[in-house]
Amino acid sequence: MELEFAPQDEVFRAEVRDFVRARLPLGLRHKMLAGERLGKEDYLVWHRILHEQGWVAPNWPKAFGGCEWSAVRQHIFEEECALAGAPGILPFGIRMVAPVIMKFGSASQQQHFLPRILSGEDWWCQGYSEPGAGSDLASLKMRAERRGDHYLVNGQKTWTTLAQYADWIFCLVRTASAGKPQEGISFLLIDMKTRGVSVRPIIMLDGEHEINEVWFEDAMVPAENLVGEEGKGWTYAKFLLGHERTGNAGVGHCRRWLAELKALAQRQRGNDGRALADDTRFRDRIARLEIDLMTLEVMNVRVLALEEQRHAPGPEASMLKIMGSELQQALTETTMHALGHAAAPFPQAATGRYFNFRKASIYAGSNEIQRNIITRHLLGL
Amino acid sequence: MLALSDEQLQFRDSLQRLLRADYSFERRREIANSTLGWSRETWRQLAELGVLALALPEAHGGFGGGAMDTLVVMEECGRSLLLEPYLPTVVLGAGLIARVGSSTQCAAILPAVGAGERQLAFAHYEPAARYALDVVATDARRDGESWVVTGAKTYVLNGIAADQLIVSARTPKGLTLFMIDRTTPGVQLRDYPMYDSQRAADLRLDAVRVGAAAQLGEEGAAAAPIAATIDAAIAAVCAEAVGAMTVLLEATGAYLKTRKQFGVPIGSFQVLQHRMADMLLETEAARSMALLASSRLGTAGTAERRRIVSAAKVRVSEAARFVGQQAVQLHGGIGVTDELAVSHYFRRLTMIEMAFGDVDYHLEAVGRHLFE
């Protein structure tokens, strides 16, 4: 670690570290460190442990049962969890839909959904992308037609992460087609058990089932599941994206992966029989990663400081998203290459991770979209 | 931790005001073409503002500032492409004397540096050494009460203007520093302008005889203070590079908004927008590492300091190359002219890339300690 935070924040770090060390189940930790795929119950076990401690919602206000931690403490918490090999808190409920419900949802939506998100009773997934609407999200076509006290929903969402486990999906749907595309979009909460909702797996390039298509055929969704006003969904989605971007730096994961790579390079034989760590060409590759990680850590601290000043994430978060995802990809790539021929046999955790993490520069606003944001909001072009 | 204090921000503002008023690019061009190559008038103004004394010890007329204060100064040097020898005189020369000089030596030199009345140069690198700090063939031997120094040095920044040259040489006990008046018999300087319009010199020492008082610091113990001083200089040029990159970013952004081709501002083309976004990313990455290097210069242990400074030099050099090259590229034809300030910023950034070790040298240094 290159930088220390304020003393009281470092005390907090020690508290988190002790807690994670004491409470993270060993089996789960080993699975994480070995790069194995986690199942639903793996995530939920850790979710419940955090819930019991009152730490499952770092970003929520205390009024809703959250921690209301500063941006710095949220970062420290995530970093310590990642370093220890704890699974991350899945963002879809806690970080994505919950802030939207808090800000724009009705009192009854808040009372119903928020405690269930907190306890882990409801697993959420995100219904944004469609086959024809990726980066150009506003061109989405999934329709929701108002029919008395419900919406009739038809269409398809895609790239839906872990939808196979989900109880609920929050969707951007089209409720009007006149005017600008952004104006006809609404934010709808849909029970995955609704008749007409089906999930089809998409197998990723690493051979794993992480993402899905979700189909809606004449699904009837109660009108009370509309969040806020009809036609305002785009505003809510932008609000949500602002919450999503920070935290994509993944400093904790990068630190753990770099440490693993160094250990691997010392164990692995290079071409001359000495350790790979003594091969100057390979060592240079690791040195670059080490420098990039130092840079990311300092960038992260600088952006967090801005965020705390403004009490809101800003467009600088786009820089973190790009740097963080590029470093994650470079780390997974170099780790795979460290294995040599041993990287080839399927399945191999490091190789799988390399393929899997091609997603990092695509999701949460592709890195090209992040550059558009930088262009517009930081460069004024 | 990485943020500048209110005092530092105020100081930066007054330095910016001074340079904006009296150091336009046209003025700089005149200065670069003058015989000296820098301006004694500007040097006097810097002394009056307290810039020269800022980082000198309080015991010797300074304000006792640290590396973060130097960072503030150097970033402004980069913004204005200052030609005045702040780096060789204050960071290198006075830095070495403050580290190892006797109280007599400090008292004789440092207050004069702070007042703008003394110029220094550090003559360390040798033609055969490339960037290595420990390859020194220059020889110093005792002859009665005197030292006799013989050897050749290169890349002596500010050599021709320096009142005193601080020379590294090998004695039977090891690496040792000597403070030698430029006018001492046997001292020969060949002065040249560099591509960034700054001046350096090659130095020949032909049996240069100096008194025992010329010895600076303990005999044979110069390696550590030399490394510390070069690290301070690296942190300083990292900050300077960030200042220069910031200007290139602003200039290129402004150009993209006004230059029209195909009937539209070229800044409306996404390929150029994304190039600019990458230039900003690189500049902010460089700023992060420059801040890290300066903030840890005084507090980290030696090995840790070396690791961080080398990492910063790698990252800043790569950013400087990218931002400099792309600023020229995005300006098109006018970018490769001497007329435009952009090419001068690019030249300075290119010289910084090679100053005190290039990317390969410092990458090796980071790699060497990776598994400790």
Q: What is the pLDDT of residues B159-176, one digit of tens each?
A: 999 999 999 999 999 999
CATH number, domain of A186, equals 2.40.110.10
Q: Which domain holds residue A371?
A: 246-378
Residue A1 lies in a domain: no
Write out residues 38-57 of B within 8 Å (CB-CB) of A. none
* pLDDT for position B372: 82
With respect to residue A105, please indicate whether it lies within any of the assigned structural domains. no
Most confident range, picked from A47-56, A81-90, A240-249: A47-56
Q: What is the pTM of this model?
A: 0.95
* Domain match, A198 and A274 both: no
Q: Is residue A195 situated within a structural domain?
A: yes
Helix (H, G, I), strand (E, B) or coil at A188: strand
A108 part of a folded domain: no
B259 touches chain A (CB under 8 A): no
CATH code, domain carrying A253:
1.20.140.10
Q: What is the pLDDT of residue A247?
A: 63
Q: Residue A89 carries which DSSP code?
A: P
Is the ipTM higher than 0.90? The answer is yes
Residues A224 and A259 placed together within one structural domain of the fold:
no
Q: Is A307 a catalytic residue?
A: no
Instruction: Please indicate, yes or no, whether residues A69 and A135 belong to a single structural domain of this protein.
Output: no
Nearest residue of A to residue B278, measured between CA atoms: A371
Are A184 and A292 found together in one domain? no
Spatial CA neighbour of A233 closest among A278, A174, A163: A174
Distance of CA B81 to the CA centre of its chain: 12
Please report whether residue A95 resides in a domain: no
| SS3 assignment, position B167 | strand
Location of structure tokens 């999200």? A137
Please give the residue of chain A at the shortest CA–CA distance from B289.
A295
Residues of A in contact with B254 (CB under 8 A): none
Question: CB of B37 within 8 A of CB of B193?
Answer: yes
Please tell me the distance in Å from B185's CA to the nearest CA on chain A: 46
* A residues 340-369 closer than 8 Å to B (CB): 368
Tell me if A315 is assigned to some domain: yes
At residue A163, the pLDDT reads 98
- A160-186 exposure pattern, b = at least 16 Cβ within 10 A, e = fewer: bbbbbbbebbbbbbbbeeeeebbbbbb
Confidence of residue A330 (pLDDT cuts 50, 70, 90): very high
Q: Is residue A245 pLDDT above 60, yes or no?
A: no
Last residue of a domain, one of A64, A89, A114: A89
- Same-domain check for residues A250 and A201: no
Same domain? A160 vs A262: no
A155/chain B closest Cα distance in angstroms: 32
Indicate if A265 and A325 belong to the same structural domain.
yes
Peptide bond into A347 cis (omega under 30): yes
Q: Long-range pairs for A207-211 at CB < 8 Å and ≥24 separation?
A: A207/A346, A207/A347, A207/A352, A208/A37, A208/A352, A208/A356, A209/A164, A210/A161, A210/A162, A210/A356, A211/A158, A211/A159, A211/A160, A211/A161, A211/A162, A211/A163
A373 and A262 both lie in a single domain:
yes
Which among A290, A302, A379 has CB closest to B288?
A302
Rounded to an integer, what distance in angstroms lies between the CA atom of residue B317 and that of residue B326?
14
Q: State how many domains chain A has.
A: 3
pLDDT of residue A311: 77
Q: Do residues A140 and A34 both lie within one domain?
A: no
Q: Is the pLDDT of residue B1 over 90?
A: no
In tens, the pLDDT along B282-302 reads 999 999 999 999 999 988 899
**In contact, B88 and B122? CB cutoff 8 Å:** yes
Q: Which of B274, B292, B370 sits opposite A371 (nearest CB)?
A: B274
Both A223 and A258 in one domain: the answer is no
Q: Per the domain annotation, does A202 fall within a domain?
A: yes
A236, part of any domain: no
Residues A253 and A313 reside in one and the same domain? yes
Q: Where do the domains of chain B lie, and which CATH numbers do they carry?
A: 6-118 (1.10.540.10), 121-216 (2.40.110.10), 223-368 (1.20.140.10)
